[in-house]
Amino acid sequence: MTDWGDRWVDGALQELHGSRPPDLSARVLLALGEPARGTLPKLEPPRRTVGLRWALASAALVLVSVLTGALLSRSGAPVAERVVQVDLTVHTGSLECVEVEQGAVRRSQSAAGSRVSFAARAGNRLLTAAPCRFQVGPYGELATGPATELEVRQMSVSWQQGVVAASSLTIAVVAGVVTWHSLQQSGTARAGETVQLDAGPRGEQAVASAAEIERLRQRVQQLEQQNQDLQLQATRTAAEAPPLAAAAVEPEPAPAPVQTAAVFADERYADLLAKLDWRTMGEVTHEMGPMLVDLVQRMQETGELPMDLAAKVGALNMKLVQQVPALMESGLPGSGPNGAYTHPLVSANILATTLDAAGLAMDQGQRDRIAGLVRQFSIETQAAMDSVQEFDLQKLGLEAETKDRFYREVSSLLTPEQQRVMFPDGADRYDGASLFHSSLFTRQFVDGVSAANPAEFARSVAGDVGEHLGLDDQASSQVRAIVERLGAAPELWQDRADEIERGQLHMLKRGRVDVALRHQVAILQEIVRTVPMSAAQKKKLLSMKRIFVPLPK
């Protein structure tokens, strides 16, 4: 028999030493379906029969024209699992159809622009190796992620007087992710979820119209935003314009309309999104990304900071810095100004205009899927910031981990060419060399400590911590002993710091900060547990946000 009291103490001890309950709210929201405002959308389980709703509406529905094949049965009752040929029109990417027919498996590949007929039989599958967007007969438009596999689970059709009155198609996401848009609904489903697609009450045309309406709605939003921006610009220009010269001057041709509206919206931050100059941020990011990599390479080659390039980077960076005041006022969650700058909503919009500047704009499917990621990771970022952690440093680590996961997931939706714009070759070697990495905001909290061994590292750190907390000599000695003992982990010392890390820019090798942060949390826990401190000192320690990173000599 289990000693349950002992089990409780065991679990509680593990929790006191780091194994704590996570905040699962974002995860549960995600699992429930695409997060949305108000009532959550539901992925309904497949229906066994066509519902009353359809029976009532059936007189007005004629969908036979969009179903190119013949139905095997034409009884008056609703029919499930019949083989219906559905038209697939591939808009972008490539789609593979896997159909089982009389015991044989038939595979066919369809490229963008082609239209194929697909047997919507249970078990038949649609595969996309790379992102793909395609229209599924009257059911709506699907946009799939890379390595996505969809399987037909059920096809339900009802007949009225010899014509198809209504139908629904249930597909399961076996792998990957799919976003769908139809007349009644849109959303995202991931591996393990099912999606039920209903043909709209006015057939394919209505669905096409819905897609068109959505596109037009977005276009109207963009134009409204553009109009506001231009009005704002005009107001500023009028206010700042010098007095007119007496002589009439030939007016300069009006500049071409500038697209500055944010691609990814969030009504909570509408003011911020309208204030920022996304086009400039994209152009600067596009230009600056490769320059940062070049800067690192030239420092490696010469051992010195290339001043000409550093000046150019500095000038470009100033353009980004000009956006910081608006970011600071926005209330976007994040640690410090760069915390807001790396918020998923901001990063995604910068990425969109960066790709525009590179001539590799996101297509609508990518925008839709990334919009879903922005919503999901905005929630996760907020959850990370709101989470209850013993130390503020742990929140910082969680925020960084969340943002890096966001960048990875967004990157997975891009083409290889787009990925190279987001992450130029070599940008992943040093912190600060990529404009799409958490180090953009964590760097401000990092203290690189050049040391030959853990003892030297501990001396330096204990001095700083002791001074920060106002510890007496005895307590400082205790801190030093703890840092020396727990800071001796081999993974902190196996890689000697190179020229770049010791140089003026303090760009540390990617991964070094993560490891140091992990060990520092253990160090802080031990300090809290064993070093006598006043309540004020303890409070300071819990809220300390400096990450001491050993730079082995």
Identity of the residue numbered 170:
T
Stretch that binds another protein, among 14-22, 66-74, 329-337, 408-416 (CB under 8 A): 14-22
Q: Which is nearer to another protein, 11 or 331 (CB)?
A: 11
Q: How far apart are CB 8 and another protein at their closest, in Å?
A: 5
Nearest approach, Cβ of residue 6 and another protein (Å): 5
From 135, 148, 160, select the one nearest 54 (Cα to Cα): 160
- Told to check if 522 binds another protein by CB under 8 A, we report yes
Tokens of 132: 């793909």
Binding mask 406-425 for another protein (x = CB under 8 A): --------------------
Q: How far apart are CA 84 and CA 73, in angstroms?
A: 10
If binding means CB under 8 A, how many residues of this protein chain bind another protein?
39
Q: In what order do the strands lie in the sheet with 177-181?
A: 115-119, 85-92, 132-136, 140-144, 177-181, 186-190
Q: Among the candidate windows 11-19, 281-289, 358-366, 510-518, which touches another protein by CB under 8 A? A: 11-19
Selected range binding another protein among 157-165, 340-348, 355-363, 520-528, rule: CB under 8 A = 520-528
Nearer to another protein, 192 or 314 (CB): 192
Report, in Å, the least distance between residue 96 CB and another protein. 32
Judged by beta carbon, residue 36 or residue 305, the one nearer another protein is: 36
Cβ 148 to another protein shortest distance, Å: 23
Q: How far is the CB of 4 from another protein (least distance, A)?
A: 4
**DSSP labels for 117-157?**
EEE--TT-EEEESS-EEEEETTTEEEEE-TTEEEEEEEEEE
Of 395, 389, 386, residue with least CA distance to 441: 395
Taking contact as CB under 8 A, which single stretch among the options 13-21, 206-214, 259-267, 398-406 is the one that binds another protein? 13-21
102: left (phi over 0), alpha (psi -120 to 50) or beta: left
* Binding residue (CB under 8 A) for another protein from 518, 526, 540, 542: 526
Closer to another protein at the Cβ: 9 or 213?
Answer: 9
H or E element that contains 241: none
Q: Cβ closer to another protein: 45 or 325?
A: 45
Least gap, CB of 526 to another protein (angstroms): 7
Under the binding rule (CB under 8 A), the answer on residue 129 touching another protein is no
- Residue 270: count other Cβ atoms within 10 Å of its Cβ: 12
Nearer to another protein, 29 or 178 (CB): 29
| Residue 186 interacts with another protein (CB under 8 A): yes or no | no
31 or 234: whose CB is closer to another protein?
Answer: 31
Among 196, 338, 349, 525, binds another protein (CB under 8 A): 525
Burial of 502 (0-12, 13-18, 19+ CB in 10 A): middle
Instruction: Decide whether 5 or 162 has the Cβ nearer to another protein.
Output: 5
Whether 460 contacts 318, CB under 8 Å: no
Quick note: the x/- pattern for another protein over 36-65, rule CB under 8 A, is xxxxx-x-----------------------
* 358: its two tokens: 């590179």
Q: What whole-number distance in Å separates Cα of residue 34 and Cα of residue 375? A: 9
Q: Which of 435, 508, 519, 510 is nearest to 485 (CA)?
A: 519
User: What is the closest distance, in whole angstroms, from the C-beta atom of residue 14 to another protein in the complex?
Assistant: 6
Q: Give the separation between CA 368 and CA 390, rounded to whole angstroms.
A: 37
Contact pattern for another protein over residues 468 through 507, marking x by CB under 8 A: ----------------------------------------
**Torsion 309-354-331-405 (CA) sign:** negative
User: What whole-number distance in Å separates Cα of residue 129 and Cα of residue 176?
Assistant: 10
Position among 6, 240, 250, 473 found at the interface with another protein (CB under 8 A): 6
CA-CA distances (angstroms) from residue 434 to 231, 417, 501? 35, 16, 15
Q: If DSSP codes are grouped into helix, strand and coil, which group holds residue 259?
A: coil
Stretch that binds another protein, among 35-43, 154-162, 316-324, 396-404 (CB under 8 A): 35-43
Q: Residue 342 CB: number of other CB atoms within 10 A?
A: 29
Q: Hunting for tokens 């399961």 — which residue is that? A: 172
Gap between the Cα atoms of 438 and 431, Å rounded:
8
Q: In this chain, which of 215, 496, 529, 553 binds another protein, going by CB under 8 A?
A: 529
Q: Which residues bind another protein (CB under 8 A)?
A: 1-2, 4-19, 21-25, 27-29, 31-32, 35-40, 42, 522, 525-526, 529
